[in-house]
Amino acid sequence: MIKKSVIIPAMIFLIFGCSNTKEVANIVEEKPVTSEYTKDPHSFSRPWEAAVTHLSLDLTVDFEKKTLDGKVSLKIKTSGNVRKLYLDTGDLSINSITLGTIETPTEFRLGEKVDLLGQALIIDILPRTSIVNIYYSTSPKSGALDWVSPVQTAGGKHPFLYTQSQPIFARTWIPLQDSPGVRITYDAKIKVPPELMAVMSAENPMEKNAEGVYNFIMPQAIPSYLLALAVGNLEFRATGQRTGVYAEPELVEAAAYEFGETEAMIVSAEKIYGPYRWGRYDVIVLPPSFPWGGMENPRLTFLTPTVLVGDRSLVALIAHELAHSWSGNLVTNADWNDIWLNEGFTTYIESRIMEDVYGVEYEQMLAVLDKESLRREVENLGADNPATKLKVDLAGGDPDDGFTNIPYQKGRFLLTAIERAVGREKWDDFLRNYFDQNAFKNMTTERFLEHLNSELLADNQQLSDSLNVPGWVYGVGLPDNFPEVSSDLLAKVSESASVWANGGPISDIETDGWTTHHWLQFLREVPRDASKKQMDELNSAFALNESNNPEILVEWLLLSIESGYETAYPALEKFLTEVGRRKFLKKLYAKLAETPEGLKWGREIHEKVRFKYHYSTNLSLDKILNPEKM
């Protein structure tokens, strides 16, 4: 998606948070930045002056009011004679603020609202202040909180709540320094209705308690976007010595089977990148409105139910979220302009896990499909678009716009190119040392490039020149030295699709043993202008309108929109009505929006079902369906 400059530049954000000229001057004055913290264009905070290091939550979950009510106590460290603490908030009601364990009241104020960024919370502190207590409540319209009605859950009897803090929604449920460059530990007490269970990105319970009060500890320091809470009618099933799944009772057995090989993935990653440092690795299956495939919250990955297809063919998603335990959670991008350091590294590690657990041929299929997805993304964005750079400039815009295929796949293939150039053994040693040396720290693109050069490329200028890593990072489009990838298995699928498209009998297509990846390749090879007769033949032979695999169904629906195959439109409307995964919805609505008729129909459906989608999903879809209003 092309980045849009919908808000004013970072300096002006800060100015709008002030009430008089003197304060404006103080705000925009340049301040020294320590090596630990960098300025984040999407945060009002000033951690180099006063940084939050730990937070203690005491919150009550109110499903009737759709609010969280309570208190957060922030432990801070200050630099010099600092008199103010700057935090990020979004639609929070701040009731009172006190300092220290004796809770001395203090003055505070909220800055003016800034689109997407919320408001600065500026608190008067003393140079010796180490604890700040904030009594507050969230808004029913919080961007992070999705209040799911019983009818939208698998069981249909109990409500469900989950948070989505990435990229900058943590500020809409906790007042804090909402920047990936600021790491915190936390503890929490969460009160919920006694028939429900609460879990967090922390040490978790494995069964309900009668009181509905749950206590959590997160001893490892994490960035704010990894703060997470889910509340629902949950059960737990172990899948390994340090792995398990949480899900509604109706889904828990299917989830336990689907993710039964998670422990093997951890072992695979540890062999290459060093020990898993987070204790347990559990997952939770959320309701359909969850906007992402997965969210790598430490100790508890949040997952879409769309991966529960019964044959473990979509578990690359687990490998991806697990890989974040090293790249992202352990070594974190300093701000969202460096998102490729999280997602590109993670996608590369995902590929290595999949190769180790499922074999080279399986990973080759994934690589071919990923390259095709990247090619499509670059084509849609435009090869000269700055959004196709790895290092992007999102200041003045929505950091969520950075989550295209570019940081994931272009970043992954850059690391593949380096691996092939220096050799896998040398590259693995480099990565393991990189994670060890930078564990629980943030990282910028520039510091990584310096590290790469000094530790791996400095002694071989010819190799460095041929790789042209800066060209990959700061250049648009795809570089000339993009790695070649191929798959004999998918080549056979492409051949079958070609023979059929040129008049061969559909009965000759051997689909026994096909995985999701075979089907995706096949459908992508079907001519975009396929006739109604051809589409009828495909649907009749393979029941594609009724596919229970969302990856396959979405590819089929995209083909149906392009070819004008209206027989698939009831299935399309049903999918848009029932599934909230943003990756799928953006593709389908964008394809509809390519024609006036499709845009009109897409707008009608979106207005009818937007209440089912997550806040961030609706933001993305509004940019597609109503760009003139953004």
Question: Which amino acid is present at 271?
Answer: K
Question: Alpha carbon of 490 to those of 61, 314, 361: distances in Å?
Answer: 49, 17, 10
- Distance between CA atoms of residues 301 and 226, nearest Å: 10
Buried b (16+ CB within 10 A) or exposed e, 143-159: bbbbbbeeebbbeeebb
Backbone angles phi, psi at 487, to 5 degrees: -145, 115
What one-character DSSP code corresponds to residue 189? E
CA–CA distance from 520 to each of 90, 366, 376 (Å)?
40, 10, 14
- Burial, 34: exposed, middle or buried (Cβ in 10 Å; 0-12, 13-18, 19+)? exposed
CB neighbours of residue 482 within 10 Å? 17
Rounded Cα gap, residues 621 and 328, in angstroms: 27
**37, 214, 246, 408: which is the annotated catalytic residue?**
408
- Specify the DSSP element, H or E, that contains 86: strand 84-89
Which two three-digit tokens encode residue 7?
């808000």
DSSP 129-148: --EEEEEEE--TT-SSEEEE
Residue pair 436/426 in contact (Cβ under 8 Å)? The answer is: no
Q: Which residues contact 340 (CB under 8 A, 6 or more apart)?
A: 333, 390, 391, 406, 407, 410, 411, 445, 473
Chain center to CA of 128 = 38
In the annotation, is 474 catalytic? no
Q: Which residues contact 475 (CB under 8 A, 6 or more apart)?
A: 389
In the DSSP assignment, the letter for residue 337 is: G
C-alpha to C-alpha distance for 495 and 257, rounded to whole angstroms: 34
Torsion over CA: 284, 197, 203, 333 (sign): positive
Q: Which of 321, 377, 419, 551 is catalytic?
A: 321
Helix, strand, coil percentages in the chain from 3-state DSSP, rounded to 5 = 45, 20, 35
CA distance 439 to 353: 20
Residue keyed to tokens 């795809």: 478
What are the φ/ψ torsions at residue 133 (nearest 5 degrees)? -110, 125
Is 107 annotated in the active site? Answer: no
DSSP-assigned letter for residue 298? T
Active site residues: 321, 408
